[in-house]
Amino acid sequence: MTHSSHARGNIVAFLGILALSALTMVWLFWHYPVKTLIATVAVLAALGVSARLARSVESDSAAEMDRSERSV
């Protein structure tokens, strides 16, 4: 019983944070459309660049791992 109520609390907290984030974004876009648009594009671009960097670092480390396993 305690475990399910804890999980339910986590879900409610997650939905609350999600709703607050969405309302904040709508409010910002309503009051400052150009600045919000520029900031949104910048954040999404940064996330895209970091995802590409993570992918390249991951593939490099996987290649190094393969080479070290072969030498053992």
50 within 8 A of 56, measured Cβ to Cβ: no
For 14, phi and psi rounded to 5 degrees?
Answer: -60, -45
Pick 63 or 10 by higher pLDDT.
10
Question: Does position 66 have pLDDT exceeding 80, yes or no?
Answer: no
CB 28 within 8 A of CB 38: no
Question: Letter for the amino acid at 29?
Answer: F
Domain limits, the chain: 1-31, 32-72
Q: What is the mean pLDDT of residues 34-44?
A: 96
- Output the six-digit token pair for 42: 């910048």
Percentage with pLDDT > 90 across the chain? 64
More confident position, 71 or 60: 60
Round the average pLDDT of the chain to a whole number and report it. Answer: 87
Residues 6+ positions from 36 with CB-CB distance below 8 Å: 25, 28, 29
